[in-house]
Amino acid sequence: MLDTDFFRRWMAATAAAVDREADRLTELDAAIGDADHGSNMRRGFAAVNDVLGKEAPRTPGTVLTLAGRHLISTVGGASGPLYGTLLRRTGKALGDATEVTPDQLADALGAGVAAVTQLGGAQAGDKTMLDALLPAVEVLGTSFEAARDAALAGALGTVPLRARKGRASYLGERSIGHQDPGAASSALLVGALAEAAGPTEGGGE
């Protein structure tokens, strides 16, 4: 079972990963966007860390809804409402439970990803965060490691794609050959699940 502490560790591990990789995310964004993805995400998840420390939410659902709300308020760029919606909808789908199973998390994250799809109007293959999230959600029921690997592969798989959404889509053919920064940060978010489960959850059943 995954308890509230697991979800705090997930957010903390994401914040640490985003902080560590912020320069790389910004470099990816410099190639096809406006070169602020790393700093925006770092600012957003630093705010998430702050608020989770102060408000001490007591259920997995409230950890994620609180995190989502603060991402929308603090990020400033399009990744704010996209990641904010992802976490908030995932949190809402988890309801009031104090512990959830990995399968319930997989279903809830699926609902979050569906909300992102609706908000941004993107589909698989459009060179967006969905290219990491969709394959990850598909195998999340198997293991967090499988989800992490699927998200990473999905993010790398955006390199040859042509962007059809967001600012990168203005570049047309020139967006080909670069990894999508949103898919890269989504891979960090999914990878942090395995990290959160690692030391104290005994690495699964």
Partner 1 sequence: MSEDKKVGIVLVSHSGPVAEAVVELARGLAAGGATAPMAAAGGTSAGGLGTSAELVSEAAARVDMGAGVALLVDLGSAVLTVKSMLAEGDELPDGARLVDAPFVEGAISALVTASAGGDLDAVEAAATDAYGYRKT
Per CB under 8 A, residues contacting partner 1 are: 40, 72-73, 75-82, 84-85, 88, 115, 119-120, 166-167
Minimum separation from the CB atom of position 29 to partner 1 (A): 13
Find, among 80, 89, 91, 98, the residue nearest to 40 by Cα: 80
Q: Which of 102, 120 has the CB closer to partner 1?
A: 120
Q: Which of 14, 79 has the CB closer to partner 1?
A: 79
Place of tokens 């490691």: 145
Q: Which of 13, 41 has the CB closer to partner 1?
A: 41
CB atoms < 10 A from the CB of 31, how many?
A: 16
What are residue 75's phi and psi, to 5 degrees?
Answer: -70, -45
Q: Which of 115, 196 has the CB closer to partner 1?
A: 115
Minimum separation from the CB atom of position 115 to partner 1 (A): 7
What's the CA gap between 6 and 20, in Å, rounded? 21
Q: What count of Cα atoms within 13 Å lies in the side-chain half-sphere of residue 92?
A: 11
Minimum separation from the CB atom of position 78 to partner 1 (A): 4
Minimum separation from the CB atom of position 69 to partner 1 (A): 8
Alpha helix (H) residue ranges in the chain: 4-32, 37-55, 60-74, 79-94, 102-120, 130-139, 144-156, 181-201
Minimum separation from the CB atom of position 82 to partner 1 (A): 6
Q: Which of 108, 150 has the CB closer to partner 1?
A: 108
